[in-house]
Structure 1
């Protein structure tokens, strides 16, 4: 019996949405893993900086919007104070959370649960707009905390 080709239906819906809305600033990256992950990569302009972001779709119930706020921001000298600051931000916002990676990089993650049928690309776009607005108001403060 031939293996059935699986399709990431959320990626198909999001791709159709970005084409329909002339959102030509995304690059599509098919990961070819067991979850049929497709990442739509782009950048966000915040405070004169260009920071990478991706919309991660797959065959689970989760779609993730991930923004790399900065690399190697958490250091031994600022770790306790900076992580407490990020936890304060995490308690303040429902739709996204800040995460510190092992290498000290900081990511802002939004987890949007949905089935293939209930996936709505417009919700992804609205939440992305909320993230951009948030970063435009908080990015300066986050960098200040990181470099103190």
Structure 2
């Protein structure tokens, strides 16, 4: 017997919020998976760079804001020093954490717990604004650390 897929109510609320606030810079991508995943994709501009960002909603209690800070930033030559720098950043911020992927990419993730009923799109927007402000301040320092 196939498991019934529950409707992702957070995606509907976020989509309605973006329409009401004229936030027409998100593209909606429905993954049609068992978790009902819907990703709202966009970009942010930091230091002249276009950086991908996604708001990942699904039927779990988590909504993830994920920013791909850069590809190939963690290399054998800088790994120990760079990851120490990233861990220092992680200790400084509560609402988000940096994650280094196996391929050397660096992501910034914020995990916002909520049910479909308690989901608050305003909180997503506030955290996204905090992330943009943070990256505006720190992006060039992160790149400097990565390329030293």
- TM-score grouping bracket, smaller chain normalisation: over 0.9
Q: CA deviation at 1:7?
A: 1.1
1:122 aligns with 2:122: yes
- String of CA shifts for 1:3-24, please: whole Å, max 9, x gaps: 7553100000000000111100
Cα distance between partner residues in 2 of 1:7 and 1:47: 38
Cα distance in 2 for residues equivalent to 1:87 and 1:20? 38
Aligned to 2:138: 138
Residue number in structure 2 paired with 1:55: 55
> Which position in structure 2 is the counterpart of 1:92?
92
Which residues of structure 1 form unaligned runs of 5+? Answer: none
TM-score, normalisation: structure 2: 0.97
Counterpart Cα distance in 1 of 2:116 and 2:6: 13
CA contact (8 A) 2:5 2:35 kept: no
Would you say 1:17 and 2:14 are equivalent positions? no
TM-score (norm 1): 0.97
Alpha-carbon RMSD across the aligned residues, in angstroms, is 1.3
1:41-88 superposed Cα distances (whole Å, 9 cap, x missing partner): 000000110000000000000000000000000000000000000000
5+ long unaligned stretches in structure 2? none
Partner of 1:41, secondary structure, is strand
Number of paired residues? 148
| Structure 1: 4+ residue segments shifted above 4 A | 1-5
